[in-house]
Amino acid sequence: MLSEGRGGARHCAVWGSPIRHSLSPVLHRAAYAALGLRNWTYDRREVDAGAFPDALVGLDGSWRGLSLTMPLKEAAVTAASVVDATARDTGSANTLVATPAGWHAYNTDIHGIEVALLVAGCFDTTEALVIGSGATARSAVAALAASGTRRVTFMVRGRPRQETVAQAERAGLVVRTVPFGDWPRVDVVISTVPPDAVTGLDAFPDTARDESPRTVLDVVYGHGPTPLQRRARAQGWTLATGTDMLLHQAAAQVALMTGRPAPLDAMASALAAFVDPEWGTPLGTTS
């Protein structure tokens, strides 16, 4: 069990593998500066699923929170003493917060996806396509269900993960599956897989005859626009950005870890220095 860790420094970090590309330190450090939390630190650490249990046990009472990226989002749920309802429903947690009772797991990815879509002007998501069916795909499903989506199609190789289909069906969504390259007509596409895993883009539909806008969100941000983003823009789709998702899920994390309202404007200003204004994608990595 973690102690309260009263006095001295407070430590937080983002863990995952790979992790060098992460812009989470930019956001959290900007928040600490704006909040006047001079004794708070936030770093990144390369941790894979095998190393995660020992790494977590090795933290002392000065640690206040962890941001988790792939492949640790499912392991975080298992490791937590208390699991928030949304993290339990999705089987995915991107946030661990230290409490006297142990680690409390949350899923702020759902909030990040919801806001990223709204920022892009995506309000009507009756039909959606989710590329992938892992932990982040379940967060996408939760966000879509909350926005009123009624039908979701999973684009996967083989079959989608059973727990992801079950979650979508619990939310009342009609589910179907298509292979890569078989692009249905939908309101929104959310990709949760590595950019080079998306194939069959030559057949990606255009929006020339559509009366309402169509939106693409590629949540796996990296270096520059992804092939999916480039193709979607060429076909007239609106782009929601993974960095908008990152900003808003991080703001929710800051509030959970510090107990203070997140300074969203300060965080957005810090992120802007590292983001291509044309594409909303990272310009590169930072320390």
Catalytic residue numbers, as ranges? 73
Strands of the sheet containing 151-155, edge to edge, are 174-178, 151-155, 127-131, 188-191, 215-218, 238-241
Contacts of 57-63 spanning 24+ positions with Cβ under 8 A:
59/2, 59/11, 60/5, 61/2, 61/3, 61/4, 61/5, 61/98, 62/5, 62/8, 62/9, 62/10, 62/11, 63/2, 63/5, 63/10, 63/11, 63/12, 63/98
With contact defined as beta carbons under 8 Å apart, do 280 and 219 qualify?
no
